[in-house]
Chains A and B, each alone.
Chain A
Amino acid sequence: MLSTPRPLVILVLVALLAYALALPFFGGTFALKFASRIMIIGIFVISLDLLIGITGMVSFGHALYFGLGAYSLYFISPESAAANGFLAIPFAILLAGAVALVVGSVAVLTKGFYFIMVTLAFGQMGFSLFFDTKIAGGTDGAYINVRPVFSIGSQQLLNFSNRTAFFYFCLAALVFSYLLLLWLVRTPFGRVLQGIHHNEARMSALGFNTYAYKLAIYVISGAMAGFAGVLFAAIDGYVAPELLGWRESGLAIMMVVLGGAGTIYGPLLGAIVYSMVEETLKSATELTAIFSLVMSGATAKWLGGIVANSWSMALGFFLIAAVLAAPKGIAGFIEKFAGEPKRAKPREIKPPAEHRERAKAMQLEVDNLTRAFGGLVAVDGVTVRFPPNRVHGIIGPNGAGKTTFINVLSGALRPTRGNVRLEREEIGGQKPHNVARRGLGRSYQRTNVILPFTARENCLLAAQAQHPSPFRFSNSWRREEEDEAVANALRAAGIAPDRADIRASNLSHGEQRQLEIAMLIASGAKLLLLDEPLAGMGPEETGRVTALLRELAADHTIVLIEHDMDAIFAAADTLTVLVEGRLLAHGTPEEIRMNAAVREAYLGEWGQEAKP
């Protein structure tokens, strides 16, 4: 999870802020305008980082909202009078946000490459709307003749025609935007966004409606880009369709990557560096001055002229060099020197009373369940009942349809036919997050935790998922309750206290599997579907986790797939044998061991040897 900025980062940002505060006292008109421009672009790119770096949604159409924000100043400005900033800014934010809601509702359906292309196409759609029609000046763009003023009644508070006032307004807007985003990504809402970035399927299985989260952040980010856009239009009082186009979107991505995606302050530095490099490459005199440091004056002048003449080619090479040499951007260098992030010390949580109440868990009934992939029937008419507070094992040879079976139960796959009932309520065919919110939690065959998060943060996400309103921005609400659930879950799953605040990627394989179980406990799920929880574990770890499962059955129903026969025959209360998608047998371990059909089809040698 994104940590609070390290001291070194704060130092860099404060130095920049001090410089900006002082700039109007010594900088000329050009410097103020150039700096205002960079700060506005800065707001635009950090809003994009919210999508790209934080949530992992690479949007190639973000300029659509920037451009709409800019055009909204044109729409709201009277022909030859000033618009009121108190109206213009909310109007731009609302317009951009509303369009983002419409576009996002379609775009967020897609992922990865499709999302990149769909956002690109919608951006172009907006561009051609302004380019081809005359709604706002067409191809030539449109002029805003008088800059906006902020006034209440006849009282004028701020006038954007005043360069210094405008500059300070932009600076305040940037600082506000940065702090807003920093706060946002650290709320429970932001925590979920970062979880989605690293493992969307897991977040969905925990009970988060990832579509809603992604749409929400898409709208927030679009609205913020609209805010940047309306300020941008006030710089020159001129807007053009190109502001919405894909080049503008591409440049914004460029600055995000150049600065370092996912850090928020990085893209800001990216915007600064990019703008300065561009400005330098455009200027023959500056280039000549730089080149003359290493070559004769005449050669420097000649070369400076050539480079400035083809500055965008030079910029292209600069960007290629940057992406190949520094994939993590400018922020990557700063982080290298800044050291490991400090994490907040967890509060002490007292262990719960030794004897837990034996709580009633949930019952799962499966009735004539079938799932086919085209002609291949992976699960074929399975009917079985899993009573509460028991450990139920599912076994069968490879390709027996065990994982498909679990995937249908958890909602990851829709059943072709048949019913799944949790406590007598039909859940078959429901979305994974809805199934999860009813109290069914699952783990995966391959370890599936949010790797960049600590063990504790992983569990926090899980605890948050089950609350009546996981969609929230308050850090304090329900915090104690969650902390307690998390501490208990970590303890119950046997994760040592000194390992709880280490990134999951640095935990051992066994610990990661335990963490998955801890997440399920923290989530408050009453029925656990575990896909090979013992896979890849040594004998000692296997023993520990088996004991843990037995203990969990006190207040959970557990359904698990397992290949370790010794372990599952020892741990399970009932066993279900699937062969070629069909239910071959269901009963106690002893009954299954004695079952002739099972021995023939599957257990074979093992059954013989294991017999005492």
Chain B
Amino acid sequence: MDLALIQLLNGMQYGLLIFLAASGLTLVFGIMGVINLSHGSFYMLGAYGALTLVGYTGDVFIALAIGVPLAFAFGIAIEWLFIRHLYDRDHLQQVLLTFALILIFNEAQKLIWGSYPHSVPVPDYLQGGIKISALLSYPYYRVAVAAFCVALALAMMFVIQKTRVGRIIRAGESNREMVEALGIDSRLLFRFVFASGAALAATAGIVAAPLESVYPGIGEPVLIISFVVVVIGGIGSIKGAFVGAILIGVADALGKVYFPAFSSSVVYAVMAAVLIARPGGLFGRAA
């Protein structure tokens, strides 16, 4: 029972983390119409960036403060160098180009950080955990990560609901052509959205770094799960990404307890079930 409870908590916390990555992906597709396979690479760069920055500063939260603006700037560079050529191209070419970017990022990671797994320390003040029973406790750092993700999710909701940028993004979710028709510089909007997506994925990578080891290809499972979340939630929907991420996090965690042999298939089964019932995702427009 305690194990199931811990798994459930882990699942929620994992779901929150996935939400950060998936929300970036859903925005990039919903607003820009670009399928970004290299999204997981930003998560990976975040995790490796945390490795280096924690090495210098000793604290993952300082690493976060430095790393996120860097990731945003990096996102702008990638958009300018590669992604902006894709806006008028079909999905196939987007898949091709962003797949090629994965090859490049993975190789760059190997050149800079090598092929061995590394670990990133949890800050001293978050060592230990909340006692749940005599044998089990729940780590403070995981609680902190969950709280951080919730705070960030709330901040995103605020930005999207209450600010001018948010209004444009919401308009873009429902009708991309409309935004352009309103006379908003879509180039600038796209660059901002892409960089934000990259920053969100990197944020997830940075805060996740102390939770598990940092290893080559760390971004790829995140990419796949983020796609599952986006499909479940409905393309372009932040709310959908949130619900989908929590659903997938919990399904994954409970799957590990109850169907250990097929745990990784559970999330795909959930996705298939959602799609049969609603081919456009939970909060999406009809596909």
| Residue ranges of A at the interface with B (Cβ–Cβ < 8 Å) | 52, 58, 60, 106, 109-114, 116-118, 120-122, 124-125, 128-129, 131-133, 246, 250, 253-254, 257-258, 261, 310, 312-313, 315-317, 319-320, 323-324, 327
Q: How many residues of B contact A (CB 8 A)?
A: 45
With a cutoff of 8 Å between Cβ atoms, the chain B residues found around residue A113 in the complex are 29, 35, 91, 235
The contact sample of 24 A-B pairs, CB cut-off 8 A, is A52-B92, A106-B275, A111-B287, A113-B91, A114-B231, A118-B275, A120-B227, A121-B227, A121-B228, A124-B224, A128-B264, A129-B265, A132-B264, A257-B96, A261-B92, A315-B100, A315-B103, A316-B107, A317-B100, A317-B104, A320-B100, A323-B97, A324-B85, A327-B89
Interchain CB contact under 8 A, A109 and B275: yes
Interchain CB contact under 8 A, A114 and B287: yes
Interchain CB contact under 8 A, B93 and A125: no
| Residue ranges of B at the interface with A (Cβ–Cβ < 8 Å) | 29, 35, 37, 82, 85, 89, 91-93, 95-97, 99-104, 106-108, 110-111, 220, 224, 227-228, 230-231, 235, 261-265, 268-269, 271-272, 275-276, 279-281, 287
In the assembled complex, the Cα of A462 lies from the Cα of B265 at a distance in Å of 43
In the assembled complex, the Cα of A125 lies from the Cα of B231 at a distance in Å of 15
In the assembled complex, the Cα of A120 lies from the Cα of B275 at a distance in Å of 14
In the assembled complex, the Cα of A316 lies from the Cα of B235 at a distance in Å of 28
Interchain CB contact under 8 A, A253 and B92: yes
Known: A128-B264, A327-B89. A121 touches B287 (CB 8 A): no
In the assembled complex, the Cα of A136 lies from the Cα of B29 at a distance in Å of 37
With a cutoff of 8 Å between Cβ atoms, the chain B residues found around residue A106 in the complex are 272, 275-276
With a cutoff of 8 Å between Cβ atoms, the chain A residues found around residue B271 in the complex are 118, 121
In the assembled complex, the Cα of A124 lies from the Cα of B95 at a distance in Å of 17
Q: A54: shortest Cβ distance to chain B, in Å?
A: 13
Known: A116-B35, A121-B224. A313 touches B279 (CB 8 A): no
A-B interface contact total, Cβ < 8 Å:
122
Q: Which 8 A-B pairs have the closest CB atoms?
A: A313-B107, A316-B103, A128-B264, A316-B104, A319-B100, A125-B268, A316-B100, A117-B227
Q: A371: shortest Cβ distance to chain B, in Å?
A: 15
Q: B187: shortest Cβ distance to chain A, in Å?
A: 18
Interchain CB contact under 8 A, B35 and A320: no
B35, B101, B108, B227: which has the most chain A beta carbons within 10 Å? B227
In the assembled complex, the Cα of A601 lies from the Cα of B79 at a distance in Å of 53
* Nearest B residue (CB) for A128: B264
Known: A110-B275, A113-B29. A121 touches B92 (CB 8 A): no
Interchain CB contact under 8 A, B96 and A254: yes
Known: A114-B231, A122-B272, A254-B96. 9 other contacts (CB 8 A): A58-B92, A106-B275, A110-B275, A117-B228, A120-B224, A124-B264, A250-B99, A254-B99, A310-B107
Q: B207: shortest Cβ distance to chain A, in Å?
A: 24
Interchain CB contact under 8 A, B97 and A319: yes
> In the complex, which of the residues A125, A133, A253 contacts B261, with contact meaning CB atoms closer than 8 Å?
A133
The secondary structure that dominates the A interface is helix
With a cutoff of 8 Å between Cβ atoms, the chain A residues found around residue B268 in the complex are 121-122, 124-125
* Nearest B residue (CB) for A256: B92
Known: A106-B272, A316-B101. A117 touches B231 (CB 8 A): yes
In the assembled complex, the Cα of A323 lies from the Cα of B281 at a distance in Å of 31
Interchain CB contact under 8 A, B96 and A117: no
With a cutoff of 8 Å between Cβ atoms, the chain B residues found around residue A129 in the complex are 262, 265
Q: A366: shortest Cβ distance to chain B, in Å?
A: 25
In the assembled complex, the Cα of A124 lies from the Cα of B226 at a distance in Å of 13
In the assembled complex, the Cα of A112 lies from the Cα of B235 at a distance in Å of 11
Interchain CB contact under 8 A, A58 and B91: yes
Interchain CB contact under 8 A, B275 and A114: yes
With a cutoff of 8 Å between Cβ atoms, the chain B residues found around residue A117 in the complex are 227-228, 230-231
* Nearest B residue (CB) for A133: B261
In the assembled complex, the Cα of A132 lies from the Cα of B259 at a distance in Å of 12
Q: A264: shortest Cβ distance to chain B, in Å?
A: 16
Q: B234: shortest Cβ distance to chain A, in Å?
A: 9
Q: A78: shortest Cβ distance to chain B, in Å?
A: 26
> In the complex, which of the residues A116, A257, A312, A319 contacts B107, with contact meaning CB atoms closer than 8 Å?
A312
In the assembled complex, the Cα of A467 lies from the Cα of B16 at a distance in Å of 54
Interchain CB contact under 8 A, B275 and A60: no
Interchain CB contact under 8 A, B275 and A116: no
Q: B78: shortest Cβ distance to chain A, in Å?
A: 12
In the assembled complex, the Cα of A133 lies from the Cα of B85 at a distance in Å of 42
With a cutoff of 8 Å between Cβ atoms, the chain A residues found around residue B275 in the complex are 106, 109-110, 114, 118
In the assembled complex, the Cα of A176 lies from the Cα of B96 at a distance in Å of 29
Q: A425: shortest Cβ distance to chain B, in Å?
A: 28
Q: A214: shortest Cβ distance to chain B, in Å?
A: 13
Interchain CB contact under 8 A, A313 and B97: no
In the assembled complex, the Cα of A476 lies from the Cα of B104 at a distance in Å of 51
A106, A113, A246, A253: which has the most chain B beta carbons within 10 Å? A113
Q: B94: shortest Cβ distance to chain A, in Å?
A: 9
With a cutoff of 8 Å between Cβ atoms, the chain A residues found around residue B37 in the complex are 250
With a cutoff of 8 Å between Cβ atoms, the chain B residues found around residue A112 in the complex are 91, 287
* Nearest A residue (CB) for B99: A250
With a cutoff of 8 Å between Cβ atoms, the chain B residues found around residue A246 in the complex are 220, 224
Q: A446: shortest Cβ distance to chain B, in Å?
A: 15
In the assembled complex, the Cα of A323 lies from the Cα of B99 at a distance in Å of 11
Q: A245: shortest Cβ distance to chain B, in Å?
A: 9
With a cutoff of 8 Å between Cβ atoms, the chain A residues found around residue B91 in the complex are 58, 112-113, 116
* Nearest B residue (CB) for A134: B261
Interchain CB contact under 8 A, A313 and B224: no
In the assembled complex, the Cα of A113 lies from the Cα of B92 at a distance in Å of 10
> In the complex, which of the residues B103, B231, B263 contacts A312, with contact meaning CB atoms closer than 8 Å?
B103
* Nearest A residue (CB) for B217: A247
